[in-house]
Amino acid sequence: MTNSSTAPAAESKDLTHGGIPSGAPEGVPSPEPHKHHSKAPAKLNAATLKAALPVAFQKLDPRQMVHSPVMFVVLVGAAACTIISIVKPDVFGIAVTAWLWLTVLFGTLSEAIAEGRGKAQADSLRESRQGVTAKLRLEDGTTREVPGTDLRLNDVVICQAGDVIPSDGEIIEGLASVDESTITGESAPVIRESGGDRSSVTGGTKVLSDRIVVRITAEPGETFIDRMIKLVEGAVRQKTPNEIALHVLLVSLTIVFLVVTMALAPFASLADATPSPIVLVALLVCLIPTTIGALVPAIGIAGMDRLVQHNVLATSGRAVETAGDITTLLLDKTGTITYGNRRAVNFFPANGVEQDQLIAAARLSSLADETPEGRSIVELASARGMDGPDLAGLRDTSTDITIVEFTASTRMSGVDLDGRLIRKGAASAVGNFVTDAGGRLPAEVQRRVQEISAQGGTPLLVAEHTHDGGARVLGTVHLADVVKPGMKDRFAELRKMGIRTVMITGDNPVTAKAIAAEAGVDDFVAEATPEDKLDVIRREQGEGRLVAMTGDGTNDAPALAAADVGVAMNSGTPAAKEAANMVDLDSDPTKLINIVGIGKQLLITRGALTTFSVANDVAKYFAIVPALFTAAFPGLGLLNIMGLASPASAILSAVIFNALIIIVLVPLALRGVKYRAVSANQALGRNLLLYGLGGLIAPFLGIKLIDLVLSLIPGIG
């Protein structure tokens, strides 16, 4: 797959001396890894339960319950038992009825708790929208203040320092520092400007400096905050394909056990052992998969909630689940695998040149260079003991000083100091600078340039024209884009999970190969164009793989739309965000790795609890079947391996356990099963051992303990 074409890099970025992307300055000696801010979920405590309980009662509405057929059957059964208990009351019937209602309530409570975890965050987001006004620019150029909620698509508003941005939009004029803490939780302001890939702004954020003109890109109720509020409250969560398949399975099992239960009465009547309607309802509720039926909505909502905690907005639940099935991950190099800001790491003098001469010249040529690379050269020179006057000091002591700015055409910068011309820049540009004045590019310098490039670094040459008209190369400065710590380990984990990683970069193949080897990715595409990205995605999908990728620019939009999981940066263009099915509000490209983990955790949690639920039912057979038919068929008493006190106690114990296990598993459904980077076969084996065997053993212990308590109650024991 390695791309060795000579097409220019597609993404247009600010150029530095080596024609490489520039970014924010970093510290010395090396930058700290990005510390992601995530929101802590609401804890499951008395206050959470108190807030969720009224919602749980509201969800008992049959019009809502019918969407969950398993729990709807329990609801109908509880209602039927209620009528029977009123007509013919007894302790056993009333107890079974009460616990059937609790079973339904615990099911709705699990969903209410899951939805309630996002309520506080949703309220906070709503507060950021209340009372916001906008300076709407009219056609005649004047402005009029209007409520932010009245803004429509393509309206143009003016935002100044101190203003809250009233709605999602794109900056069409100006540049400003913006506080996005209300959305991302990060206190550090960010720069947003017209043009390029950082023109997008989010409603509810605050302008800290300068003035910008924003064109609104969202209709009322469709902004990112509005969509996030609906997401965290579970209001627009759609069932995913796997969830639909599980839903079909649960409905099928429910129908099968409903038919079996209905057939029991006529068959049992032949042996004069006809069970009562309440007993038949209890049997049906214990046989159908009520545990997983009650927890499925909570599992899905909690999976979306975990995304929100990581400041990721998913436009569909399908994308979250698909992330768990991803087999190919496309990652941009700059800012994702590497820090993006290349720093000076070493000086290599040419033959016959003292190292101090090279360092001093490199420092002088970088004093006026405000790029991260230029500042890093000055810092490295200082660390090597080469201090001297700053730019202001040189101006005070020199009569003839001219600063030479970097341009894309010359690809060099430097200083003219008292007749001495000092330049640093790309090897080819500096080589021409020297040879045009009659000098030469030494062979050992050329070899050094090739070595640095082969290592994935960027070589900058330093040269001078002297007073006597001569020209010479002083040496080479090695710039390196550092691979983020731990990336190799993370890619190794992804490999264990069966995920193939592909690095996308605009670098030349030699540099790309070196970075790919250091980072530990499986493959790379060098000198990538938008068409190359799209070709890679289509090729992978054509081979039956699911592909995820990140992007922020308009030229990333086709690939984001084609990928199975496309994650756009919130700082990116509206086109990128519209094309993607997820938006990272932190604009952290490495978040894609976390998203894959969240998707897999969602799938694993649902699978683990389904396994537990199915295994759970086995013990109930041993409790209820002997209780129903031992009187007519004494031989069935051998199945009473738990030694339950009486038929009434056995049935009620199974019903109580069936209800309690739902509420016991709610914290696990919300938290999710701990995800480990292992193969699918290993994960399946672990689930079967832990949740299959656990689901088999737990009911035997639980039902027996409940039976010991019930045996002490008159009328049941």
Residue 608: phi and psi, rounded to 5, are -65, -45
455: which 2 tokens? 């290592």
409 among annotated binding-site residues: yes
657 among annotated binding-site residues: no
Q: Report the DSSP pairing between strands 211-216 and 412-417.
A: unpaired
- Collapse the DSSP code of 177 into the 3-class scheme (helix H, G, I; strand E, B; otherwise coil) and give the result: strand
Q: Which helix (H) or strand (E) holds 159?
A: strand 156-160
For residues 238 and 192, is the Cβ–Cβ distance under 8 A? no
How long is the chain?
Answer: 717
For residues 565 and 595, is the Cβ–Cβ distance under 8 A? yes
- Collapse the DSSP code of 278 into the 3-class scheme (helix H, G, I; strand E, B; otherwise coil) and give the result: helix
Contacts of 685 (CB under 8 A, 6+ apart): none
412 among annotated binding-site residues: yes
Q: Calculate the CA 383 to chain-centre distance.
A: 39
Nearest in space to 519 (alpha carbons), one of 531, 503, 499: 503
d(CA 35, CA 542): 37
413 among annotated binding-site residues: yes
Q: Calculate the CA 123 to chain-centre distance.
A: 22
Report the alpha-carbon angle 466-468-473, nearest 5: 35
Residues serving a catalytic function are 332
373 among annotated binding-site residues: yes
Map 299-364 to HEC letters.
Answer: HHHHHHHHHHHCCEEECCHHHHHHHCCCCEEEEECECCCECCCCEEEEEEECCCCCHHHHHHHHHH
d(CA 88, CA 486): 69
d(CA 4, CA 316): 37
410 among annotated binding-site residues: yes
Q: Work out whether the CA dihedral 62, 66, 67, 70 comes out positive or negative.
A: positive
d(CA 207, CA 274): 75
- Collapse the DSSP code of 643 into the 3-class scheme (helix H, G, I; strand E, B; otherwise coil) and give the result: coil
209: which 2 tokens? 């400096």
CA dist list (Å): 492 to 332, 375, 520, 680:
17, 34, 7, 15
369 among annotated binding-site residues: yes
Kindly tell me the burial class for residue 178, based on how many C-beta atoms sit within 10 Å of its own C-beta (0-12, 13-18, 19 or more): buried
Known binding residues for Mg(2+) are 552, 556
Known binding residues for ATP are 369, 373, 406-413, 424
Known binding residues are 369, 373, 406-413, 424, 552, 556
